[in-house]
């Protein structure tokens, strides 16, 4: 019987043409899909560590959003961008409303002292530098004098399944800390909840899209319904 099928003809006959087209189509499209706008890079990550929030009833929150890089001489802040704080009040009001919605009673920050501690502190911060999960650091200074010794060098742990490689400049972070078992001098913070909104306060986008900020804050609380178990 004649052998029609031969290697070289595989590349030149009609079957070969089909095979070549199929090969190109298949191999040329390994990872299709793309991000087409800056909004599509927004990420809301909330970490709760399986914590039980049923015992928490009160919280205190500073009246400002803390900027990570205020000292331009700090090498860590060499590439820091300007952070737009004109929306701080709006953001803080949104957070307060959502905390109230989950049943928490806010204690004014100026009434907080060692004898009148809330169950939780809500700290909002924004990072002016790009950062990775390995170098998450918080600016625990300058917001009212309590725990004045806070400084960089500590951050929340990420679950093993989360492979965070980079957070954009202008990332907003909301953190709930239980003052119990917290020792700022030892850089030990009892974090109960952490929410990260990537890049929403960057000045790279001008003017800032407040819808992105609103959406991120609402999403962080929407996906954290366990906060409402108190």
Q: Which residues bind other proteins (CB under 8 A)?
A: 1-7, 10, 15, 18-19, 22-23, 25-27, 29-35, 39-50, 158-159, 161-168, 198, 215, 219, 223-224
The least CB distance from residue 2 to other proteins, in Å, is 8
Nearest approach, Cβ of residue 145 and other proteins (Å): 32
Long-range contacts, 39-42 (Cβ 8 Å, 24+): 39/209, 39/212, 41/168, 41/198, 41/199, 42/197, 42/198, 42/199, 42/200, 42/212, 42/215, 42/216
CB of 142 to other proteins, least distance (A): 29
> With respect to other proteins, which residue has the nearer C-beta, 198 or 230?
198
**Cα distance between residue 118 and residue 97, in whole Å:** 17
Cβ-based nearer residue to other proteins, 46 or 230: 46
85 or 166: whose CB is closer to other proteins? 166
Give whole-number Cα distances, 99 to 40, 174, 212, in Å: 27, 12, 20
Best CA proximity match to 195, nearest among 175, 215, 169, 211: 175
Q: Fill in the DSSP letter of residue 148.
A: T
Q: Quote the least distance from Cβ 171 to other proteins, whole Å.
A: 10
178, 163 in Cβ contact below 8 A?
no
Residue 100 sits at φ, ψ, to 5 deg, of -65, -40
Owner of token pair 């560590």 = 49
| Closest to other proteins by CB, 72 or 161 | 161
- Which residue number, 22 or 105, has a Cβ lying nearer to other proteins? 22
Distance CA 139, CA 37 (A): 30
Nearest approach in angstroms of CB 91 to other proteins is: 18
Can you read off the two tokens belonging to residue 121?
Answer: 């502190």
Please say which residue, 4 or 186, places its beta carbon nearer to other proteins: 4
Q: How far is the CB of 229 from other proteins (least distance, A)?
A: 16
């Amino acid at each position: 019987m004649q052998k029609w099928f031969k290697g070289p003809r595989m590349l030149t006959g009609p079957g070969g043409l089909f095979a070549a087209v199929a090969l190109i189509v298949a191999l040329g499209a390994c990872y299709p899909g793309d991000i087409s706008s800056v909004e599509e890079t927004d990420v809301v990550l909330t970490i709760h560590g399986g914590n039980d929030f049923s015992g928490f009833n009160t919280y205190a929150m500073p009246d400002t959003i803390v900027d990570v890089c205020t000292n331009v001489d700090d090498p860590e802040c060499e590439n820091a961008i300007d952070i737009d704080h004109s929306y701080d009040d709006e953001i803080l009001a949104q957070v307060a409303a959502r905390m109230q919605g989950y049943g928490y009673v806010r204690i004014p920050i100026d009434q907080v002292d060692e004898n009148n501690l809330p169950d939780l502190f809500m700290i909002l911060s924004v990072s002016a530098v790009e950062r990775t999960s390995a170098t998450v650091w918080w600016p625990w200074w300058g917001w009212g004098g309590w725990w004045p010794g806070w400084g960089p060098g500590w951050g929340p742990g990420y679950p093993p399944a989360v492979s965070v490689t980079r957070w954009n400049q202008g990332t907003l972070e909301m953190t709930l800390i239980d003052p119990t078992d917290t020792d700022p001098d030892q850089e030990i913070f009892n974090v109960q909840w952490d929410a990260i909104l990537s890049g929403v306060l960057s000045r790279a986008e001008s003017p800032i899209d407040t819808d992105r900020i609103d959406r991120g804050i609402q999403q962080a609380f929407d996906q954290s319904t366990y906060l409402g178990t108190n």
